[in-house]
Structure formats: structure tokens, C-alpha cells
Chains A and B, each alone.
Chain A
Amino acid sequence: MRDWGVLTLPCILSPSAKADRRAVLGLFTGLALAGCMPPRETHLIVGSSAGGGNDDLARLFAKTLLRQTSERLTVENEGKAGGKLALDHLAASPGDGTTLGLLAPSFLYRMLQKEVGASWSLSSFGWIGGVSAERRVLMVNAGSGIRTLDDLRNRKTPVTLAASSVASPNYIEPLIINQLLGTRLKPVPGYSGGARTLAVMSGEVDGMVTGFDSIGPLLESPGSHLLLRLNSLELPGQAPVPTLASLAKGPDAAALLDLIETSARIGQVFALPPGPKTEALARWTQRFHAVIEDPDFRREASQRGMGLEATTGREIATALARLSNPTGPTLKALSRVMTKGRAG
């Protein structure tokens, strides 16, 4: 038998080596040719890894778009660095409508703290629209011994809250609450994913700031309850919970409430790269609204627990311009919150 080198591997699987070689050759030649001639694609860069975060929304959006327009949207996950790589990738792409981005909800806090976005301006992106607004809440468990907001205010020892990292909303928002209500919330970073929920459930920490839609099982634990609503969206099926806005005081109240409300409201944001072509932005804005108003999309999104409140691209652009204004109140107020939080 001739020495066929690496071809020995596929060939040893079959008694008919000659036929097998032909089949293998034909198959791989076809595959290689197919791989060399990819069809024209539109890319959707997603700021989370496959299967997690807003990837689910991206894939549902792509599926609906394919059904509506026959345009194939290839989902590319860039989940590293909390979505910063996705932003960098999007910022470096052409604005002709062949590349879109879907940004993680936490991107706003990161941008405002200059953790990302040093090389480009927020206002230069083409904001298409946002969907899946969050209902941000402060919840505590039975072990915390906290029943009311007065308990929270009067507690002598810090109230520990599970947080993922110092750049995440569940770390920054408790510090904002401290600033506005004079509480002693102590976010503890380093709890990722399921560990965060378990820490609250087991009583290791007193609670956490989180999205209402993601804590169903936690609220079923005896004694666990919601203490505060951080933004104005109503909580379905819940007894009235006071809002942060109704209790906040101090000179930074308006700016910080605006920040929390905007961050939660804009939800998961679709955007075009900086300097988009007007025609591309108009086309994608129209498609975005067509998709999120699609009955099948809404049914599936609802099944998966996604919020369906939408924000227009214009609203997002206006809000981001207001929040990121270097002479505006938000950045200064946030800076004071973080400085105080680090010192505390």
C-alpha cells in the first residue's frame, strides 16, 4: 500500500480505501470552495458571550429579520472586557450599515467612568433603538433583618450586597443610593453569575441591586422582599414598592436619578458605528421597529422573559448627550459618588 500520509486517517475507517479517498477529496474540495466564497453578510457585534446576556436577544432579532426581509444577520460575540471589545470593534467598522452593534446594558456606566470610549465620542454613534428596559430593584433577604426602609436607614452595621465587579451597575447603584438616602449599603464585588444569587439566598450577604425580571426564584424564598424601586417602571404582580425618586434628596438627586432612569430605560441598545450614513441609519431604524413590533418576536421575547419596552434611537442619542456632557451635572455627581464609595 502506498504511503498516503495524513490521508491514512480517514481511509482507515473504510474498507474501500480508493472510493473513500475520492469521496473525501470531493467532499473537502466542495467545502473548501464553499468556504472561499462566503455570501455577502451583515454583522451584528454583540457585547456578551454566546448564550449569555443579550446574545439571546441578538439571535431572536436576527431570526425575525431573516423571516421578514431574507437578510442574514451574522451574530458575532465579543463578550470580553464587559463589552468594551465589542464597542472598539463597532467603532472601527464602516458606517455603511453592514455592521451593527448590540451593547450590554452596563455599557453606559463604563462609558461615563471613562473606562471605555476614550478614543471616540458617544454622540458619534448611530443609535438605532433600545429594547428590553430593566426594572431595577433593591432586594433583601430574611437574614438581613430589614423589613422597611426605616430599618435600612437605621441599621448600625453596613448592609452587604452582592455585586459582580466595581464597574457593574449592581456595584455603582448601591453607592448612588447611599448618596441619595444616606444609607450604609456596602456592595461586595467578586460574586459572578449564579454565585451572586446563591450568596443572597443563603444569607451570606443581605441582598443585592438587580433587575426585577431575573430574581423570580429569589423572591420565592421566605422573608425575601423588595425594598426599593430604582427607576419608574412598574413591577408586575407586586405590592407597591417605593421608588428611589420619591425619597431621594440632596443636590445630586436630579442628576443621579436621571442616570439610573436612563441606564435602565434604554435597555439593550442597537447601534451603528460612528459617522453612519444617513440612509443606513434610516433603513436600520425602520427595520428595528418592524422587528420589535412583529407579533412572533414579541411572543418569543415574552416567553424568554425579555422586557418589550422600546426606546427610539433619537431618545437614546439625546439622553447620552445629556449624561456625557463634560460640563453637565451627571459626570460630576457620579464622580463624587465613586470617590465617596472608594473612601468608604
Chain B
Amino acid sequence: MNLVLEAIGQLLASPNTLFAIGLGTITGLLAGLTPGVSGRTGLVLVTPIAMGLGPTAGALFLIAFHSVVHTSGSIPAILLGTPTSSAEAATAIDGFAMARKGQGAQAIGASLGASAIGGLMGAVFLFGSVPVALSIISHFGTPEITALSVLGLLSISALSGGWLTAGLMVAALGILIGAVGVDPMAGAARGTFGVTALWDGVSPAALVTGLFVAPELLSRDRTEALNHVARPRLRDVLAGTRDVLAQAGLAIRSGLVGILVGIIPGLGTSVAVWMAYGHARQTHPSEIPYGEGAVAGVIAPEAANNSKEGGALVPTLFLAIPASSGMGILLACFATLGVEVGPRLLSHNPLFLFQLGWSNILANLLALPVCLLVTPLLARISQVRREQVIPLALAAALTATVLTDPSWATLGQILAFSALGILLKSANLPRAPLLLGFVLGPGLESGLMRSAMVFGWQGLMRPGVLIILALALIGILASARARLKLGTESEDAATTALPLACAVAVALCLFALFQATSLPATAAGILILAGSIGTATSLVTLWRFWPMRGAARQAKGPDLVLAGMSLGGLGLAGLIALPAAIGVLVAAATRFWAKLGWWPTFLGALACAAAAAGLEQLIR
């Protein structure tokens, strides 16, 4: 305890270290706000700054940076509906729905409040329960991680919006998309169509943009003009943070989910966020339905997102085992600075360890007021008419996605997943289960294979596995009971596009089953499992829809003019430089779709092209 206090005392007494933490917080928040600059890329970009600060201050700077980069990362996703990662997508589902109702400031307030609680929980956990954490890590083997993935997949039920077979069908598609690439067990290529760029799987950014961003921005529904929304003020943001306090139980439970997932190497932010989101939908009733602006749908993923970082620091700092790719880069940065982490840190230099923990806490505490002050300005985006925002949002989404991996393969994936996302939205099918299947599928497959190879059937009898599977069983029973109480399922919400969506799903599943016949057993298993479930649930979904097809709502397709322009922008991005393509897309959409004047068209296009060029240079 003395060391903990001595560490904070030293930090507060030193202007250098305080400056480093402040600078890390500000640059972390800016990096989070910048499209395409994730925590990983950001760390690489700011390493030279850390070098300039020296070993101790540099390490504190990096920890502060990494602690808050996710805090501001969800703000563009909430305001513009343009998530660029599967983690942000969970927040954007309800956050963007709130913003469209003119509650953008509240949504961001809730996001910031939950991030602060999650961040603080992670930081306290970092040095408050070290022995427990190390014990959990050492007892969490592959079978337990696999069981955790099974538990996570149960959220499909909650994310299916009342129509379980449709949710399972979409989740099966997600698992199949997650299986694309060269599998590590047999080295067999699955669904790559000979494209080398798909060896490591599909681009998560392209999948998120296609599934969530494109369908919303290209929607024909132009009635959501928000110019009558009152000007956002600080009190609106604070109302959002008060929502977090009112639902503190959910924030704490989600924070615990984040910590647990964070300390286990290999699971990643997306798993933490989607498990927390699924947990909220399963256990936390909301007056406003999830997906339509439930503030709990913002609180849960944001708390998990930030608490996960504190959890991930435990194996990183104490064992020198990076719990995620971001932590791997952090370790490399520490090595560059000459800072030694690992088992010897606790015994040789515990004071420094606690200083790192305090840096995490101080950064989270500092980020909250900074963001609260800036948010009313940023939230004014939600006042701007939809026609004016959409060209800008399209440009931001396209730039951020393409910059993750500038190639024709990425552009092709954006196109393919946008078509799939628009089809699912038109059919009124849930899209979140697809992302859940995509996020959890690869870990589940790899975990099952490794458990079988190392433990055999004994893997199922491990205490940790039994506990997690018991929780899963309880979840299934609770969900089934809730469904029985609910009575009917919501097939009536289906539209005339449902048969086409089911046909596409069946075609994809049959293709996967066909491909499985030519693969080694270890590579074929997941394709057979997901393909069979997907085919069966697609046919059941279609069978249940068929009698009521006459009464189905007419499907709403995308705005074809804007979709055509976006397609042109994608093509141009492949043929000419990205900034030029962005400029042309914004100009065309602003002038001929939004029908604004030539001056705003010219200036908007120039601004977006210049921003894209600047980001391109920065990230390279």
C-alpha cells in the first residue's frame, strides 16, 4: 500500500511525468477521433514522441495514450454511424440510433461515462488483484477459452430480435465469413478464390463498413432530418453520464466481462465488446428496444472496451506476454525505450509498475472532463441535415476502411459486404449476430481443435469448462423461458426481400459444404457445422415466412443514385489515388445528390480530399 501511495506521490510531484501523462491523454483522444488511426497504428505513430520523453516519462505517456484511445474512438461511430471496427460497431448500433433521434450528446455522455468506469475498473484491477489475475491466467487454458466462446455465441439468441432461426442463419454466415483464409491447423485455403489477400481472412473494417455503415448511409429513408433538434449543450452530455450512474450495475458487470476477456491472450477487444453487448441484451431490460436507441446498448460495450485494456496490461506487464496485438506493439515500444517488463518488474521495480497503473487511472480521469467539454461542439454534427452529413460520412468511412489495407481486395470486400448488409437490412434481418459469429467463430474453431489435440475428451471435464458450460446452460434455459413468455416470434416484421436473403444464405452455406468435401477434416469441420446450421435455419426461416408472404411489408432498397455514386467512388479509389477518389465522390454526392451549391461542393470535396491525403501520409 505504501508503494501505491509513494508512486502517485512521485507522479504528482514531477512536472515531467504529469506532462507526459497529459500529453498521452490528449494524443490518445485525438488518435481515437481520427478515422483509420486505431490504438495499434496510433502507438506506432507516437513512439517517436515517447522516445523524446525518455524511458520513464515515455512509458507513462504510452500507457496514458493507450488507456484513452478507445474512449474517443466511438464518438465518430455514434455521431456519423460510421464504425470502422467490429468493437465500435456494437456501440454504433444504439449510439447512432440515439444520435438520429437528436440524442447524440446523451449517447456520447453515456459512452464517456461508461468508458471512464470501465477504464477505472481495469486500472484498479491492474494493481489491486495481481495474485488473483495471475492465477486466473494460468488456469485459463484453451478448453476454458473455447467454452467462453460458446458462452459468447449464446448471445445470438439475444441479438436475434425475437426471431431465433433468422438470427442463427445470419450467425452461421458470420462464422463462415470468419473461416475465410488459410486455416492454421492444416494450411488449407478456404473461400479465398485464389486471392492471396484473403489468406489471413476478410478485412474486419470492410465487413463492418459493409454491414453497418453502407446500409444506413445509402438508405432511401431521407425523413430523418435533424435540423430541428435543439443545440446540444453540456447538460445533455452530463445527462448521458448520469444514465451510466443510474445503470451502474450493468456498467460494472460489463467492465468485469472486459477485464476477464482482456487478461486472456488472443481473445481481443471485439470479443469483450460483443459479449458485453449480448450480456446487456440478455439481462438488462430497456424501455427503448435495443437497436433503436437503448442507452444500455452504449454503456455495456463502452465499459467493456476500456476495462479490457486494464485487464490486458496484466499479462503484458507482469509476464511480458502480449494479450493482444495492441499490447504486442506496446511491448515493442517499451523495448525501444529500454523499459523492461515481465516477471522481474514486480520484484525489481514495483514502484515503476504502480506508476504505470496510476498513469492508466489518471489518463482515464483526465479524459472524461476533456471529452465532456469538447463533446457539445462535436455533437452539433447531429444538428446538421442528413443530406449534408452523408457525403462527409461516406468519405470518412471509405477513407478509414481503405487505409486499413489499401488494395483492390479491400475495395472488393467493401462492395460484397455492402451488398450483403443492404440485403439483410432490406429483409429486416438482424445484422449483429453475423458480426458475433465472425468475431467468435475463428477462436471457437481453433480452440476446439487444439483442445482435442492436447486434452482429448478430458478437456470437457476441467472445472473451469464445467463452470462456464453450466453458465451457458443456464443462459439457454433463461432465454427459452423468456421466449415462451414472449409467445410469438416477430416474423411479421419480415419484408418481401426475405426470400432473396434466405436464398443467398442457402447458396453461401451450400458452397461452404461443397468446399468442405475437398478439405482435410480439421479444416472442413467448421464449414460443415456452420454450413449445415445455416442451410437448415435458412430453410426453416423461409418455411415460416411463406404462409404470410402476402402480408409482408414491401422491402426498402437503397438510394440507387447514392449507391451508384459510392460504387463509382470505390472504383475510382482503385484506379486513381484515394484522396482524388474521395474528392470526386464528395463533389458528386454534394452537388448532384444533396443538391448543394457549387462553392460548398468544391470546398467540401477539397477538404475531404486533403484530409484523406493527410491521413494517408500519417498512416504510412
Interface residues in chain A, defined as those with a beta carbon under 8 Å from any beta carbon in chain B: 3-10, 12-13, 21, 24-25, 27-29, 31-32, 34-36, 49-52, 56, 74, 76, 80-82, 84-85, 88, 115, 160, 164-167, 186, 188-195, 197-199, 201-202, 204-205, 216-217, 220-221, 300, 303-305
Contacts and interface: CB of A to CB of B under 8 A. Distances in A.
A110 B201 CA distance: 18
Interface residues of B, number: 78
B600 A4 contact: yes
A39 to B, nearest CB: 11
Interface string B319-349: 1111111011100110110100011100000
A80 B600 contact: no
Contact of A24 (B139, B323, B607, B609): B607
- Main DSSP-derived SS at the A contact region: helix
A264 to B, nearest CB: 21
A45 to B, nearest CB: 12
B446 interface: yes
Interface string B555-586: 00000000000000000000000010000001
A189 to B, nearest CB: 5
B549 interface: no
A194 B328 contact: yes
Interface stretch (B21-29, B447-455, B528-536): B447-455
Nearest to A221: B343
Given A3-B597, A5-B601, A28-B606, A52 B328 contact: yes
Interface stretch (B178-186, B251-259, B350-358, B425-433): B178-186
A303 B185 contact: no
Contact of B323 (A12, A31, A194): A194
Given A13-B377, A193-B265, A204-B454, A52 B182 contact: no
A76 B407 CA distance: 13
Contact of A204 (B44, B141, B321, B606): B141
Nearest to A36: B613
Nearest to B201: A80
A300 B392 CA distance: 43
Nearest to B340: A216
Given A80-B199, A82-B199, A189 B322 contact: no
Contacts of A204: 141-142, 454
B604 interface: yes
A32 B613 contact: yes
24 contacts: A4-B599, A50-B40, A52-B325, A56-B335, A56-B336, A80-B199, A81-B182, A160-B454, A166-B185, A166-B186, A188-B453, A193-B266, A193-B322, A194-B327, A195-B266, A198-B265, A198-B315, A198-B321, A201-B138, A202-B141, A204-B142, A204-B454, A217-B321, A217-B342
Interface stretch (B104-112, B122-130, B380-388, B537-545): B380-388
B200 A80 contact: yes
A74 B620 contact: yes
B454 A51 contact: no
A187 to B, nearest CB: 10
A199 B336 CA distance: 26
B265 A3 contact: no
A8 to B, nearest CB: 5
Given A35-B613, A166-B187, A193-B322, A205 B327 contact: no
Contacts of A32: 579, 606, 609-610, 613
Given A80-B199, A164-B184, A217 B343 contact: yes
A5 B594 contact: yes
B44 A85 contact: no
A218 to B, nearest CB: 9
Contacts of A167: 182, 187
Contacts of B601: 5
B343 A220 contact: yes
Nearest to B445: A190
Nearest to A220: B343
Contacts of B142: 199, 204
A12 B380 contact: yes
B332 A51 contact: yes
B137 A190 contact: no
A85 B332 CA distance: 24
A56 B184 contact: no
B617 interface: yes
B305 interface: no
Contacts of A25: 603, 606
Contact of B265 (A84, A165, A194): A194
Interface of B: 40-41, 43-44, 137-142, 182, 184-187, 196-197, 199-200, 265-266, 315, 319-325, 327-329, 332-333, 335-336, 338, 342-344, 377, 380-381, 383-384, 388-389, 391-392, 405, 446-447, 449-450, 453-454, 579, 586, 590, 594, 596-597, 599-601, 603-604, 606-611, 613-614, 616-617, 620
A4 B597 CA distance: 8
Q: Closest 3 interchain pairs by CB?
A: A35-B613, A5-B600, A51-B329
Contacts of B322: 193-194
Contacts of B319: 197-198, 201, 217
A190 B449 contact: yes
A189 B383 CA distance: 52
Residue among A9, A51, A81, A88 facing the most chain B CB atoms (10 A cut-off) = A51
A191 B450 contact: yes
A339 to B, nearest CB: 14
Contacts of A85: 196-197
A21 B600 CA distance: 11
Given A6-B590, A204-B454, A304-B336, 6 more contacts: A3-B600, A7-B607, A8-B384, A56-B336, A192-B184, A195-B265
A76 B614 CA distance: 16
A198 to B, nearest CB: 5
Contact of B184 (A5, A50, A52, A166): A166
A7 B586 CA distance: 12
A15 to B, nearest CB: 11
B325 A9 contact: no
A191 B391 CA distance: 43
A242 to B, nearest CB: 27
A73 B122 CA distance: 39
A52 B41 CA distance: 11
B387 to A, nearest CB: 8
Contacts of B344: 220
Given A3-B596, A193-B325, A220-B344, A9 B392 contact: yes
Given A32-B613, A81-B197, A193-B322, A5 B388 contact: yes
B55 to A, nearest CB: 10
Nearest to B452: A188
Nearest to B579: A35
A50 B44 contact: yes
A231 to B, nearest CB: 23
Given A5-B597, A32-B609, A81-B196, A50 B41 contact: yes
A186 to B, nearest CB: 8
A85 B200 CA distance: 11
A27 B611 CA distance: 10
Nearest to A305: B335
A299 B477 CA distance: 61
A5 B604 contact: yes
Contact of B384 (A9, A34, A166): A9
B325 A190 contact: no
Given A7-B600, A188-B454, A28 B200 contact: no
Contact of A28 (B384, B447, B611): B611
Given A5-B388, A8-B388, A195-B266, A202 B139 contact: yes
B185 A189 contact: yes
B265 A51 contact: no
Nearest to B185: A189
Contacts of A189: 184-185
Contacts of B335: 56, 303-305
Contact of B610 (A28, A186, A188, A198): A28
A82 B181 CA distance: 12
A98 to B, nearest CB: 16
